[in-house]
Amino acid sequence: MSGTTLRISDALIRRIHAHGVETYPFECCGALLGKDSETSREVIGLLPLANRRDDSPRNRFEVTPGDVQKAEKKAREMRVEVIGWYHSHPNAPARPSEFDREHAWPWYSYVIVSVEASEARDTKSWRLRDDRSAYDAEVIESIAQSASI
Amino acid sequence: MAVKVIIPTPLRPYAGKQESVEMEAGNVREALKGLTTRFGELKKHLYSDDGRLRSFVNVYVNDEDIRYLEKEETQLRDGDIVSIVPSIAGGTGK
């Protein structure tokens, strides 16, 4: 899966940052809705979701199957797909943890934003390797404004 | 029993890009075993090394979570729909 590109507008990146700042020092999460092709994928909209890990929201996030289905329904209405997920790492780098890897699905793009002192610092996108051994970084390409939701 | 297994989007590349697969199975365990026998690449994404379904893999029979039925021993009837639905988890883990 190396060499893939995630195309997303600055406006949508700013919305992810804002969500991470809003929930700081807890983790935020949400769905990336968009279109996929062989070599690149484009985020058309976001669906911010509640972090269901009430017991440990500072260092964990969870999207329930019900919320996954809600995101898929929203994507179908927009005639796109759920192409990935975003979440924040409060006071930690924007790279996947071992906990992230253990719980990851292949194919999805995982956008992580690092938030420190209530400020979004860094944003990266990752995809799990087919053999689940590690993540590969995905190039984030800034594009003109999408028809966001 | 002839059942249909719905494949979630992230696993379709490992299942011949199909949205669903028809198969014969008497219970959920047999349905999933049939699926991973037909598409070997699916196994590591559905099961952990100790052979258990991964915690973020949710299986429904006709919209009912098998955790509230008989888990993988849940019996299937002709025409049942078995859905694999992701949950998404992660975090810094610190």
- The mean predicted confidence, pLDDT, of chain A is 93
Q: Among 3.40.640.10, 3.40.50.300, 3.40.140.10, 3.30.70.1110, what is the CATH number of A5-143?
A: 3.40.140.10
Which of B39, B54, B65, B92 to mutate to probe the A interface, most A CBs <10 Å? B92
Which residues of chain A lie closer than 8 angstroms to B45, CB-CB? 105-106, 132
Specify the DSSP element, H or E, that contains A116: strand A109-116
| pLDDT value at residue A31 | 98
Give the residue extent of every domain in chain B: 2-86
The overall longest dimension of chain A from CA atoms, in Å, is 39
Q: Concatenated DSSP letters for B17-69?
A: T-SEEEEE-SBHHHHHHHHHHHSGGGHHHHB-TTSPBPTTEEEEETTEEGGGT
Burial class of residue B59 in the structure, from the number of CB atoms within 10 Å of its CB (0-12 exposed, 13-18 middle, 19+ buried)? buried
**Rounded average pLDDT over B4-30:** 97
Q: How confident is the model at residue A149 (pLDDT cuts 50, 70, 90)?
A: very low
What is the CATH architecture assignment of B2-86? Roll (3.10)
Amino acid at B40: G
> Which amino acid is residue B26, in one-letter code?
G
Note the pLDDT of residue A37: 87
pLDDT digits (tens, 9 = 90+) for A98-111: 999 999 999 999 99
Note the Cα B53 to chain centre separation in Å: 9
Half-sphere exposure of A101 (CA within 13 A, CB side): 13
**pLDDT tens digits, one per residue of A76-90:** 999 999 999 999 999
Question: To the nearest whole angstrom, how far is the Cα of A63 from the nearest Cα of chain B?
Answer: 5
Question: Given this model, what pLDDT does residue A1 score?
Answer: 52
The pTM (predicted TM-score) of the whole model is 0.94
